[in-house]
Structure 1
Amino acid sequence: MVTDVIDAVAEFAAPRKALWDVLLDPQTYPRLFPGIGACEQLDTVDAHPTLNMRVGGHGIEVGLLRVQLHVTKAGEGFELHCPEHGSFAAVRLRGDGEHTRVYVTFFKAGRVHPVLAQLPNSTVVTWAQSGLKRVGDLIAGAPTSLIVNGEDSPVRLQAGVVKRMVSSGVVRTYRPDVGLKQIGGLAKWGFSLAGGYAAAAAHSPQRAAVIDDRYSSTFDQLHARSSALAGAFTALGFGPGTAIGLLCRNHTGMVEAMVAAGKSGADAVLLNTGLPARQVEEIVARHQLSALFVDSEFEHLVRYLPIDIPRFTSDDVPPDPGRTTLEDLIAMRQEPPRKPPRPGRLVVLTSGTSGTPKGARRPHPKGFGTVAALLSRIPFGTNETMFIPAPLFHTWGLGALQISTAIRATVVLGDRFDAEDCLRRIAEQRVTALIVVPIMVNRILDLPTHVRTRYDLSSLRIVASCGAPLAGATVQKFLDAFGDILYNVYGSTEVSWASIADSADLRMSPTTAGRPPLGTKLAVLGPDRRPVPVGATGRIFVGNHMLFDGYTDATPPDEADGMLDTGDVGYLDAAGKLFVAGRDDEMIISGGENVFPRAVEEALSHLPQVSEVAVIGVPDHEFGQRLAAFVVKRPGSGLDSDMVRNYIRHRVSRFSVPRDVTFLDSLPRNPTGKILKRTLIAPT
């Protein structure tokens, strides 16, 4: 058991001033000392700065610790007081210009958390000294921000993949003939959508594969229908070396068309349903599409395309009696093609939030590694019922569909998202896994409590969100309302899933992007392409076997040591969790200080009067750049611009206070829910 007084000492080949500046920064503690998940400075009338620290983790219940910072002598000593527990830590710095010794004394440390009281003094000393060593590494610039989860060890990686596949039941079967049929499907079309549905049809032919608002198809039916459709594609000349476009909402027809394209060898370009007609025309020309499969409601977007580009109706409401539908093509009963030289690839368009969408060729999964990667962080199991309201033309919705075939999940599709309807589907279909983008999480939380409690959601055990950052306030509200079922996936079209935060990570650090899944290498690099220290901010690079096959119409991202530049900036903490500060092109320099809008967005998201917020950088004559905030208030809120600025002034640096605050009815978003910041204009 710990004693009332514990002493720890650490020595550094660093000037005292450098150590003092780092140790006095509240953000040092969640970044460099495991067990502290977050630290927020509170706006109080106390004489000393007051901090709220989230403490716990590793099986210890997460709680809030209120700490007061007392500077006893500037540059030489300070104390962290916990008045509620009657405990404190005293820190003293001694040394000359080149060497410094840090003395830490803990008083009544066992009162801070009941688990701590059961540990020996040596554990507390080691924890303090290890954290202080990271402080020294930060000052010295040690290259420590690199995490490898199996990617550099083929043996370890393969062992991890096998373990995941067996434990999840993906490759287990008690009938050799069924196993051979599964392998046959994968051998013909590889680890693609086509191969996945063929293997699932061999294992569980009568299990429901896809359920939408109109149809329900078993794995056997979907495999047979997509084979017939592939035969029609081949008869019409859509095969290897050609590409078709899909402009569809989430429904069975879109899935069948993607699978059929893979079987015929044709590439399928997934068009965003929110694009204007002009951009659709540009993409059709740029990708030299041989045909378009279009839902009837989007006919106006393709009306002025050249008449020599065949058009087919992908749902069952043709815009004119002469238009051929998917059902017509399937009814042709053409023989399915033999194995193509390679299965057709899926081309996903980037979100285009900062410009014109680029076409990114998604690779076919290489073996079971892609499935194992996701299963290593999210506990999907076989025979899930998976509801995917996230658009299938988006990397996350598509990725979930691809994973669903391996685990033989029944996929429920909805062509439009409505928060209450989502809860109704979960209750009626006994959905076990929900695949969403962050705006959908927000809309569910916006429902009144009495509406949410109408529906039995007891079957739901996974809510996986991806596509944009989840605000820390949103994470905490969701966990408190629905329990520890939330998973936050960070990734992109180019690198797939780079890191995943499970509910334990999010309880501890609500803003974290999590840890890299199996088979992933993640690094935070400086301008010299070397890793920065843990806790330091740099550019996020990712390497795995899921990297995209390049753009169809643009220069690929920068590369370093086999890893791709995500375009994001962030840091790793001492526990190996990733935090994303924002896009590299969103950072502004205000008065010589680097400022990221996301810190302000996170702070404002905790205001109960704020429904949504976006912050951008705008030119400023005095400071070079300044921040402008765009806020959507909750109904009946009395929030004004001065209240917003005062709130930020006490929580973030003075350079982060938005000079301009504009109130809007809603924020501009693309169909996947990402805020279109480039369309926001600050007052002049």
Structure 2
Amino acid sequence: MRDDVVEASAVVGHTPDVVWQIVGSPEWYSRFVPEIAGCEIQEHAARGRGPRGVIRIVPERGQVMEAQVQAVVYRPGEHVVWCGVPDEGAWVSLELRPLAGGKTELFVRMMLPPSHLDLVSSVKKDVRALARRLDLHLAGQSDPDADRDGNKATKLRTTSVLVRAGVLSAGRPDKIARQLSSLAQWGATIAGGYQAAAARVPDEPALHDERSLRTFRQVQERSDRLANGLSELGVGERDRIALMCRNHAAMVESFVAASKLGADLILLNTGLSAASVKDVLAEHEPAAVLADDEFAQTIANVPGDFARISTWPDAETGYPTVDELIHAAPADPPKPVDRPGRVVVLTSGTSGTPKGARRPTPKGMGTAAAILDRIPLRAGDRILVAAPLFHSWGLAAMQLGMALRASLALIRKFDAEETLRAIAEQKCDALFAVPIMLQRIMDLPERVRARYDLSSLRIVASSGSAMSGTFVTQFMDTFGDVLYNFYGSTEVSWASIADPGDLRAAPGTAGRCPLGTRVAILDEERKPVPPGGEGQIFVGNDMLFDGYTNGKDPARAADLMATGDVGYLDAAGRLFVTGRADEMIVSGGENVFPRPVEEALVALPGVHDAAVVGVADAEYGQRLAAYVVPRRGASLHAEDIRAYIHQRLARFAVPRDVYFVPDLPRNATGKILKRLLHDDTWPVSSDY
């Protein structure tokens, strides 16, 4: 052996042709080798040549390395040798040698340049672990030694996160005493959070919208009066209050007031149709509806004996306003209630009428610590909240903001350039948004983005729908490594968070579990899948929801709850979501999820956005139909789209139908409404 060539081997309990299923599929390498973050194949193997693609490697305590690679030796079932493009002398050889008893020796040889020699020890150390993962996967067995408690939220770890974020910090003894007293009386509720913040930093800015600036003291005093005013209208503990508002200070004050009353809050999506609003209100029977004037007519048309109150007056509706209630009500602080009010968030409703999901009351500061463990917000940060407060992500921003005593700048109607202007003028530290908003910001001309000084922005926290790996990389190349991708659902709250390091290594990842959270990938029998295997995503944490208001719940497995998505964990513990369980398309006996096809489509130059759905097919049962939004000035043809996908994905993943559309139908939080793509009224073209 040459001195600069490293060799290692291990035995796998399967024949070479079976082991080759993984060894010959580089797109699977990240599921078995922790140092490999991903490998995208750009050209599949063909007669006389091996596959070619891009590989990303993350050495232990090292920076992400990305390189073009080519299989210069590719003998199926026997041997593959990978080298860089251009060839700089480094290579990796994976050889399968048959052994007696139907086993295989996996013989690894590699030569690395001197600058990458830190990989040598990890490769030699991990070959046996690789063989073990291969064995379990190929045998269809889960890992009995999988760590189930490594992310446990101990008091020490939780306290450490809260101290690092400044939630727990030194200060005047009298203010700390009042802060702790508020939390003791009201608990980790919205009322308790804002009471505690007002006790600690009463004169610091709390809420800023286009009409007003409120301090924490003002929020406390106004919400006391608003709670009393609502009480005089007959709203009490365990009653329901519906909110249909855009982001502004009065909406947050209504949150706090309802919490002080012990009333349940029903958050109405501002994009709901009048019929859906009527259905939701009929189901929940609120004692009062607080709505912006632009929705006054929708609320007026709903029958019912409930108080109607204006939260953003800009028309003559005849309804009393929040300010009028506040000015007329007594200032006496309400007394803590026996049962904290709950928040009911409506599911996105991408496939039908939205359902109400009862959010649990946080059990303590551990809820904030879970997110702060992965997103490094700090006490006193200035947070721009563009994500709707009626959405789980906007709600999370508000709840984190009150724990951090942060100043929230509230965007009532999103505009990409105005958002950048607000960040620059208010020197915001963080932006909470949904992906479509970030897409709109990226769509701005570079000369427009360059007008604004965004140097204060440390964190762009996104959630609500999938972001393509191509977009993630483009965004961070433009704005720096500030992007954090939060994956969760209305039902499970959170599952994982990808920080900039994760997104640089694996742009398509949903990240890793935050403190106190466990993710399991389970099969149809609710049993763990083998290492690297795909299955339904189940989550366990302290904030699993309390159930739908219609009594139906998602699937459960012991203390875990299903997200409704399908995915897998790579060898480094990063979660990947491959699609919705109910979106699986069976075409010619093959199971296909739209998301990998959509990811490939948006990576194609000239494609701005894409969605893939299944349609009925007489021969194959179902076939894939792609709806593609071209970039301005692009020249695209359906056959080019099909050829491009065929080069990168399996034959059965190639869309038979390709339609070009000016845009995709989305709801108020940016999720694509795929059911509308089947509607004959949606404008399509078979060529562009």
In 2, Cα distance between equivalents of 1:437 and 1:614: 18
- 1:612-631 paired onto structure 2 within 5 Å: 612-631=609-628
In 2, Cα distance between equivalents of 1:72 and 1:374: 45
1:87-114 deviation line (CA, Å, top 9, x unaligned): 3222222336843232424242236xx2
Structure 2 counterpart of 1:276: 273
CA contact (8 A) 1:7 1:103 kept: no
1:299-351 deviation line (CA, Å, top 9, x unaligned): 2222321253221111133533x321101110122334322112211111010
Structure 1 counterpart of 2:256: 259
In 2, Cα distance between equivalents of 1:106 and 1:4: 10
Structure 1 counterpart of 2:103: 100
In 1, Cα distance between equivalents of 2:407 and 2:301: 38
3-state SS of 1:223 partner: helix
Structure 2 counterpart of 1:126: 125
Structure 1 counterpart of 2:49: 47
One-letter amino acid matched to 2:323: E
Structure 2 counterpart of 1:13: 13
- 1:50-65 paired onto structure 2 within 5 Å: 50-65=52-67
Structure 2 counterpart of 1:90: 93
Alpha-carbon distance, 1:257 to partner: 0.7
Distance 1:98 1:592, change over 3 A: farther
- 1:164-183 paired onto structure 2 within 5 Å: 164-183=161-180
Structure 2 counterpart of 1:654: 651
Alpha-carbon distance, 1:86 to partner: 1.9
3-state SS of 2:509 partner: coil
- 1:364-375 paired onto structure 2 within 5 Å: 364-375=361-372
Structure 2 counterpart of 1:588: 585
In 2, Cα distance between equivalents of 1:433 and 1:652: 37
Alpha-carbon distance, 1:247 to partner: 0.5
Quick one: percent identity of the two aligned structures?
47
Structure 1 counterpart of 2:532: 535
Structure 1 counterpart of 2:512: 515
Matching residue within 307, 317, 328 for 1:332: 328
Matching residue within 402, 413, 419 for 1:416: 413
Structure 1 counterpart of 2:28: 28
Decide which moves more: 100-109 or 34-43. Answer: 100-109
Alpha-carbon distance, 1:128 to partner: 2.9
In 2, Cα distance between equivalents of 1:653 and 1:129: 30
Matching residue within 673, 676, 680 for 1:679: 676
In 1, Cα distance between equivalents of 2:657 and 2:530: 35
In 1, Cα distance between equivalents of 2:431 and 2:634: 32
In 1, Cα distance between equivalents of 2:445 and 2:3: 49
CA contact (8 A) 1:164 1:376 kept: yes
Distance 1:617 1:236, change over 3 A: same
In 2, Cα distance between equivalents of 1:486 and 1:591: 39
In 1, Cα distance between equivalents of 2:91 and 2:426: 53
Decide which moves more: 181-190 or 490-499. Answer: 181-190
1:179-224 deviation line (CA, Å, top 9, x unaligned): 1111121122211111110000000000000000100000000011
CA contact (8 A) 1:523 1:540 kept: yes
Alpha-carbon distance, 1:56 to partner: 2.4
Distance 1:262 1:448, change over 3 A: same
Distance 1:96 1:588, change over 3 A: farther
Alpha-carbon distance, 1:149 to partner: 5.9
Segments of 5+ residues of structure 2 without an aligned counterpart are: 681-685
CA contact (8 A) 1:15 1:97 kept: no
1:120-144 deviation line (CA, Å, top 9, x unaligned): x543312333223222221122323
CA contact (8 A) 2:10 2:105 kept: yes
Alpha-carbon distance, 1:58 to partner: 4.0
In 1, Cα distance between equivalents of 2:354 and 2:101: 52
3-state SS of 1:616 partner: strand
Distance 1:682 1:622, change over 3 A: farther
Alpha-carbon distance, 1:3 to partner: 3.7
Structure 2 counterpart of 1:142: 141
1:651-680 deviation line (CA, Å, top 9, x unaligned): 011101001111111100000000001111
In the alignment, structure 1 residue 453 sits paired with structure 2 residue 450: yes
Quote the RMSD (CA, aligned, Å).
1.9
In 1, Cα distance between equivalents of 2:150 and 2:545: 19
In 2, Cα distance between equivalents of 1:368 and 1:362: 16
Matching residue within 347, 359, 377 for 2:374: 377
CA contact (8 A) 2:612 2:625 kept: yes
One-letter amino acid matched to 1:30: S
1:518-558 deviation line (CA, Å, top 9, x unaligned): 01011001122121122110000001001111111141111
Report the TM-score when normalising by structure 2: 0.95
In 2, Cα distance between equivalents of 1:608 and 1:311: 51
Distance 1:650 1:97, change over 3 A: farther
In the alignment, structure 1 residue 549 sits paired with structure 2 residue 546: yes
CA contact (8 A) 1:378 1:502 kept: yes
- 1:378-397 paired onto structure 2 within 5 Å: 378-397=375-394
CA contact (8 A) 2:133 2:531 kept: yes
In 1, Cα distance between equivalents of 2:461 and 2:210: 22
Decide which moves more: 297-306 or 659-668. Answer: 297-306
Alpha-carbon distance, 1:386 to partner: 0.2
In 2, Cα distance between equivalents of 1:33 and 1:305: 58
CA contact (8 A) 2:493 2:544 kept: yes
Report the TM-score when normalising by structure 1: 0.95
Alpha-carbon distance, 1:70 to partner: 4.3
3-state SS of 2:117 partner: helix
In 2, Cα distance between equivalents of 1:366 and 1:3: 58
In the alignment, structure 1 residue 356 sits paired with structure 2 residue 353: yes
